[in-house]
């Protein structure tokens, strides 16, 4: 086993292309992960992550601050601080902040897709498509 790498939220590149702010903190590029990745999602009031699905991965979503609404295959689930859910492979999902306060969640996807560009399929228009960000397959 080689030396372990400590990764930091502050060093993780923010990705706003699909809405809100996504930061992959522990992943293949940041920490040498080989089976999945973990990050932090921050949504300001009224923000959302556009609908998408992951053909290869389950997504674990755990709210660490505030309240978020997860729409999964048309059903809505309100998640409060300290609650989470697992989004199955191929389930269309969208994450929204309908409150007046910022919200934050930790997300984890595994297993990894064979190639990063295959891990995330968008099913609605992106909020910030002009922001050139690499595909991360996140929420």
**Rounded Cα–Cα distance for residues 139 and 137 (Å):** 7
pLDDT at position 131 is 61
Residue 87 has a pLDDT of 98
pLDDT of residue 1: 54
Q: What domains lie within the chain, and their CATH numbers? A: 21-122 (2.60.120.10)
Question: If 0-12 CB within 10 Å is exposed, 13-18 middle and 19+ buried, where does residue 91 land?
Answer: middle
Pick from 104, 110, 135: nearest CA to 40: 104
pLDDT for 136: 46
Q: What is the pLDDT of residue 137?
A: 47
What is the structure's pLDDT at 128? 84
Question: In which residue ranges of the chain is pLDDT below 50?
Answer: 133-138
Positive or negative, the Cα torsion across 52, 136, 26, 56? positive
């Amino acid at each position: 086993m080689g030396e372990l790498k400590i990764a930091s939220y502050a060093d993780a590149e923010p990705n706003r292309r699909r809405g809100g702010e996504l930061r992959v903190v522990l992943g293949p590029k940041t920490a040498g992960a080989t089976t999945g990745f973990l990050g932090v999602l921050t949504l300001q009031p009224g923000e959302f992550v556009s609908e998408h699905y992951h053909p290869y991965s389950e997504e674990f979503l755990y709210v660490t601050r505030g309240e978020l609404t997860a729409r999964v295959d048309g059903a809505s689930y309100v998640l409060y601080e300290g609650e989470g859910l697992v989004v199955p492979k191929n389930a269309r999902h969208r994450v929204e902040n309908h409150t007046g306060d910022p919200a934050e969640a930790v997300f984890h996807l595994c297993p990894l897709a064979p190639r990063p560009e295959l891990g995330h399929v968008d099913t609605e228009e992106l909020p910030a498509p002009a922001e050139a960000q690499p595909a991360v397959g996140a929420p």
